[in-house]
Chains A and B, each alone.
Chain A
Amino acid sequence: MTPRIELRPSPHVVKGASVEHIMFHVVLALLPIATFSVWQYGLSALALIVVVTLACIASERLFNRLSGKPSTLSDWSATITGLLLALTLPPSFPLWMGAVASFTAIALGKALFGGIGCNVLNPALVGRAFVQAAFPVAITTWVPAFAPRRFSEFVPTTFTAPLMTPPDIAAWALQAKSVLDGFTGATPLARWKFENVLATPADLLSGAVTASAGETSALLILLCGAYLAARKFMDWRIPVADLGSAALTALVFQMIDPARYPDPLFVLLSGGLMLGAVFMATDMATSPVTPKGVWLYGALIGVVTVMIRYFGGLSEGVMYAILIGNALSPLIDQVTQPKVFGAVKGKKA
């Protein structure tokens, strides 16, 4: 028998990396953060993470069906979108609103552009931006971390019926107040901005503050990010540029008016900057590909984040900063094309 001869174009060997492989490791890196969030906020956080992630997966499947394409669930990207989205929402966020955010993320953020790789904006942030505008109260309603009864009962808002006003959570939050001093129902950034009270770095590092589900432990996020960077599943230059430029901008402002502006450490550790810099700004599809472009993009997000925090109407600026960076990244790519081998600088080859 004559053996079958296979014909393929060169190169005939590949490195063995695959989209599946990269995305799966991002999911792995997100799991410790999600677990920590559940430990901090209890059942409500668990329910939110599960529902939002499953809703993203279901939406992805729906759009696969509608477009008549094979399922893309195996590439894990919808799972990542779901996890990230859940981690940026307040733990007490009503589940039905979370599902709306998921659907919007996949529909407007991803499927509309043609699926994985084609999206211009980070899908998770598109989803979050939508619910930020649609449900401004729910998305700024915070619960205390480490509430004593967090594993025995849900936060009342979690099971709000769709289209109904969420119940008041003051009574639920009160249980924590007896244990934890000073719970005010506002994030450290909001407290700094509107009440001029600064949280301590120790609280920020350990997560003993009110915040979105997955934003609280800067240390854990950095560790998981370091894992991804070490395995080369993430471009380390983006978080370095992002955090570096944010710190630098904060430092400049602090030198101008130390009484008014907080120290760079507070800026780095508070809010969603760490999660955004490590897991969202680094989304491959929506960040530039050129080496110079990557640095520029990271730095831009850092500066815009601080600007929004200091001068914008919102207390948090990471989401819009990254979305702005995403929108600009095609342009950044255009103006930072690498130098062609042998070409003389400044002269068109």
Chain B
Amino acid sequence: MSLFPFFRRKTFSRGVHPDANKRTAGSPIRRMPFASRMILPLAQHIGKPAVPLVRAGEEVVRGQPIARADGFLSVPLHAPADGVIEAIELKPSARGPWVESLVLRVYEASTQEVRWANPCDVESLSPKEILQAIQDSGMVGLGGATFPSHAKLSVPAEHKIHTLIVNGCECEPYLTCDHRLMLEHPADLMVGVRLAMRAIGAERAIIGVEDNKLDAVAAIRECLPADSSITVQVVPTKYPQGAEKMLIKSLLDLEVPPGKLPMQVGVVVNNIGTLAQLGQLLPAGQGLTERVVTVTGPGIKKPGDYWVPIGTPMRTVLEWAGAADSGEREIILGGPMMGQAVASLEVPVTKGVPGILVFDQLQIEAARQVWPCIKCGECVNACPMGLNPSMLGMLAVQREYEEMGTHYHLGDCFECGCCTYVCPSHIPLVQQFRVAKGVLRGKAA
């Protein structure tokens, strides 16, 4: 809190201010019971899918590795409950296509106890061993990117990392899972942050938190080490503050060049949820079998943050949280700005699902008539990347995809949705850009 309102906190340019709707921020994380059947896709991360270690009919215990990493850019998978592998077959995924998945029938007597663990003294591990331990835990970016965490923390020799940025912005409306983790598990977070710092060789870490979560800031400050190597910085609440490049700009006033990674400017960014869970899992030597999911939205009767076992089908989650079971509705994995609407209730909660949002009739009707672009310029004033979505949209309609890529920086768009959010003509700009990127990718291949 600054004494003078005109001493504004530094932040990135443009962006939008959607209604926060963070109704679930005030109540503690609750546990969700096991579903009777869990579905575990082998590809829950960016990179090569995991390779099954079990056959149909095999019994597994909670925490046991059931699929191994296939190469460097891949992570293993762990059984979320005691039970028996029913089948290895194709199951619907969030993005639509059916994907190879392990189907686990859960024993009714299965307990929360993790029966497969390999505890170790994390203080004695070398950076290389830390990275190996992270890969073994099956950890990926829990904010939704699902990039394998060990790969993200592996810094090539030519880069020197000065700062680890811990992303506690949670700028998506509705979501509160990171907020609750910061409040309830600050000590685990510190362990995770220090492990990540050691892995990348950074001397300082900055935890960036939006100013609508000052209670989380206070909770973290209680746990900060005395040597001030880890600090918390409050950033203004503005979407998409939690985008890597935006947060680096806000905290360090550094701009990552187009098409480059944060490493280019000596920074590695990690999600707060990822590090909090790493701080819990690595000392215990356990794998990632559950995560915090915000289940909320107007269509949910018991909104809240839940520890949800990975592999729990959407249907079970919605039944537990009390979703209305009639009428039209939209089910979104993730936040309302960048989340993915799903077509099937059989789709499971995977590692990269921070929230499940259910919109009912009212919100669905909000998608109304589309007008032609009236060139109001709202999108240009909203795009955090400094693009011209209005121009890109007009080119997309004319299918001038090459032009979009070469002259209007389509590749820099990370689909945050700000342009579509503000558009008074309701033009589905982001979707047009996705299509254009797909076409360009197809042409390049």
Given A14-B421, A284-B376, residue A5 in contact with residue B331 (CB < 8 A): yes
> Known contacts A11-B337, A13-B18, A337-B388: does B424 contact A22 (CB below 8 Å)?
yes
Given contacts A338-B380, A341-B385, contact A117 B373 (CB under 8 A): yes
Q: Chain B interface: which size bin? A: 35 or more
Cross-chain contact of B16 among A15, A290, A349 (Cβ < 8 A): A15
Docked CA distance A4–B358 (Å): 12
- A342–B371 Cα distance when bound, in Å, is 32
Quick one: given A340-B258, A341-B258, are A12 and B336 in contact (CB under 8 Å)?
Answer: yes
Does B337 contact A9, Cβ atoms closer than 8 Å? Answer: no
Q: Which of A3, A289, A294 contacts B329 (CB 8 A)?
A: A3
10 residue pairs of the A-B complex, CB under 8 angstroms, read A3-B327, A6-B341, A10-B339, A13-B421, A116-B371, A117-B425, A289-B390, A340-B412, A342-B245, A349-B258
Cβ–Cβ contact A12 & B376, under 8 A = no
Minimum distance in angstroms from B337 CB to a CB of chain A: 5
Complex Cα distance, B259 from A344, in Å, reads 13
* Contact B343–A291 (Cβ < 8 Å): no
Collect the chain A residues with CB atoms within 8 Å of residue B375's CB: 117, 284-287, 289
Grouping DSSP codes into helix (H, G, I), strand (E, B) and loop, the A interface class, with mixed when no group exceeds half, is loop
Q: Which residue of A lies closest to B412 (CB)?
A: A340
Q: Which has the most chain A C-beta neighbours within 10 Å: B332, B379, B428?
A: B332
Q: List the A side residues contacting B338 at CB < 8 Å.
A: 10-11
Other contacts beyond A19-B374, A290-B380, A341-B386: 16, CB < 8 A: A1-B325, A7-B341, A13-B337, A13-B421, A15-B16, A18-B424, A19-B371, A75-B371, A116-B374, A235-B376, A284-B376, A285-B374, A338-B380, A338-B386, A340-B387, A349-B258
Given A10-B417, A341-B386, A3-B328 contact (CB < 8 Å): yes
Counting residue pairs across A and B whose Cβ atoms lie within 8 Å, the total is 178
Q: Are A235 and B377 in contact (CB under 8 A)?
A: yes
Whole-angstrom distance between the Cβ of B283 and the nearest chain A Cβ: 37
Does A340 lie within 8 Å of B341, measured CB to CB? Answer: no
Q: Residue-by-residue, is A189-224 near B (CB-CB < 8 Å gives 1, otherwise 0)?
A: 000000000000000000000000000000000000
CB distance from B419 to the nearest CB of A (A): 9
Interface SS of B by simple majority: loop
Q: Give B174's nearest chain A residue, CB to CB.
A: A13
> Please, how many angstroms separate the alpha-carbon atoms of A13 and B338 in the complex?
10
Q: Which of A6, A16, A114 lies in contact with B330, CB distance below 8 A?
A: A6
The verdict on A73 contacting chain B, using a C-beta distance below 8 Å, is no
Chain B positions within 8 Å of A287 at CB level: 375
Q: Are A284 and B324 in contact (CB under 8 A)?
A: no
Chain A contact residues, CB within 8 Å of chain B: 1, 3-19, 21-22, 75, 114-118, 235, 284-291, 294, 333, 337-344, 349
Residues of chain B within 8 A of A338, CB atoms compared: 380, 383, 386-388
Looking across the interface, which residue of chain A has its beta carbon closest to that of B372? Answer: A117
- Which residues of chain B have C-beta atoms less than 8 A from A10's C-beta? 332, 336-341, 415, 417, 430
**Residues of A with C-beta under 8 A to B431:** 9
Interface hit among B56-64, B82-90, B362-370 = B362-370
By a CB distance below 8 angstroms, the chain B residues around A291 are 380-381
Q: What are the residues of chain B within 8 A of A286 when measuring CB–CB?
A: 375
A348 to B32, CA, bound (A): 52
CB distance from A49 to the nearest CB of B (A): 24
Q: How far apart are B364's CB and chain A's nearest CB, in angstroms?
A: 5
- Hey, which chain A residues are within 8 Å of B423, CB to CB? 14, 17
Kindly provide the distance from the CB of B373 to the nearest chain A CB, expressed in whole angstroms. 5
Q: Which of A8, A117, A340, A341 neighbours the largest number of chain B CB atoms within 10 Å of its CB?
A: A341
The verdict on A289 contacting B388 (CB below 8 Å), with A10-B430, A117-B371, A341-B245 known, is yes
Q: List B contacts of A6 (CB < 8 A).
A: 328-330, 341, 359, 364
Q: Which of A11, A284, A285, A341 contacts B384 (CB 8 A)?
A: A341
A4 to B341, CA, bound (A): 13
Question: Which of A7, A115, A289, A290 has the largest number of chain B CB atoms within 10 A?
Answer: A289
The distance from the CB of B275 to the nearest CB of chain A, in whole angstroms, is 25
Is B434 within 8 A of A9, CB to CB?
yes
| CB atoms of A294 and B173 under 8 A apart | no
User: Which residue of chain B is the closest to A8 with respect to CB atoms?
Assistant: B341
Chain B nearest CB: distance from A259 CB in Å? Answer: 43
Report yes or no: A342 in contact with B330, Cβ–Cβ below 8 A: no
Over the window 313-356 of chain B, the binary record of Cβ atoms lying under 8 Å from chain A Cβ atoms (1 yes, 0 no) is 00000000000111111111000111111111100000000000
Evaluate whether A340 and B420 lie within 8 angstroms (CB atoms) in the complex, with A3-B326, A5-B330, A15-B16 already known.
no
Q: B211: CB under 8 A from chain A?
A: no
CA distance A342 to B325 in the complex (A): 47
A-contacting residues, B377-413, CB 8 Å? 377-381, 383-388, 390-391, 408-409, 412
B255 at the interface (CB under 8 A from A): yes
- B-chain residues with CB within 8 Å of residue A7 when the two chains form the complex: 330, 341-343
A22 vs B364: C-alpha distance when bound (angstroms): 22
CB-CB nearest in chain A for B417: A11
Minimum CB–CB distance from B431 to chain A (whole Å) comes to 4
Q: How far is the CB of A119 from chain B (nearest CB, A)?
A: 10
CA–CA, A6 to B343, complex, Å? Answer: 8
Chain A residues contacting B415 (CB-CB under 8 Å) are: 10
Whether B386 contacts A339 by the Cβ 8 Å rule is yes
Within the assembled complex, what's the spacing in Å between the Cα atoms of A343 and B332? Answer: 34
Residues of A within 8 A of B69 (CB): none
List B contacts of A13 (CB < 8 A).
Answer: 18-19, 173, 336-337, 363, 366, 421
Contacts of B385 in A (CB 8 A): 340-341
| Contact residues of B between 1 and 58, Cβ < 8 Å to A | 12, 16, 18-19
Question: Are B412 and A341 in contact, with the CB atoms below 8 A?
Answer: yes
Q: Once bound together, how far apart are the Cα atoms of A340 and B329, in whole Å?
A: 38
Which residues of chain B come closer than 8 Å to A284, judged between CB atoms?
Answer: 374-377
Name the B residues within 8 Å of A343 (CB-CB). 257-258, 386
Q: Is the CB of A9 within 8 A of B409?
A: no
CB <8 Å contact, A17 and B422: yes
A287 to B412, CA, bound (A): 26
- B278, CB-defined interface residue at 8 Å: no
Q: Contact string, B216-260, partner A, CB cutoff 8 A, digits 1/0?
A: 000000000000000000000000000001000100000111101
